Amino acid sequence: MPKEQFNSLVERLKFHKNRFKDVKIVGHIDLYNTDCPGRNFPILQAIDAAEKQPEKPHWAKSANDELMVAGILSSDHTASLDKPATEGMVLVLVNKIRKAGNQL
């Protein structure tokens, strides 16, 4: 298997592992007797690599943390950084920024 394909598989496994945190990733052989995917497909090594590699922090985590320290955000939104913001959330955030700017 080419290195690029293996790395892509590891990234896909990490994605699913992060999305479904309580699910154990297994190969076909772990579920029933089969030759699939075969000895040329390194599924066990890919699972091991996906589990060992540290999760990268979300690209917006540092902004979340800095806004919390500045008092603009009142709670940690790290777990929901990929969820869309409602219009109400945006209005409250912009208003907090406006008020903070007036205090400078």
> 96 lies in which domain range?
61-102
Question: How many domains are there within the chain?
Answer: 2
Q: Is the pTM of this model over 0.75?
A: no
Q: 42 and 10, same structural domain? A: yes
DSSP 24: P
Q: What is the largest CA-CA distance in the chain?
A: 69
Could you tell me which residues come within 8 angstroms of residue 28 by beta carbon, excluding any fewer than 6 positions away?
34, 36, 37
Which of 14, 32, 52 represents a domain boundary (last residue)? 52
Q: What is the pLDDT along the chain (104 residues), one digit of tens a residue?
A: 788 999 999 999 988 888 887 778 887 777 878 766 667 788 888 988 888 866 678 899 999 899 889 888 888 888 888 889 899 999 998 998 898 887 75
From CA 29, how far away is CA 26, in angstroms rounded? 8
From CA 97, how far away is CA 102, in angstroms rounded? 9
Look at phi and psi of residue 56 and say left if phi exceeds 0, alpha if psi is from -120 to 50, else beta. Answer: beta
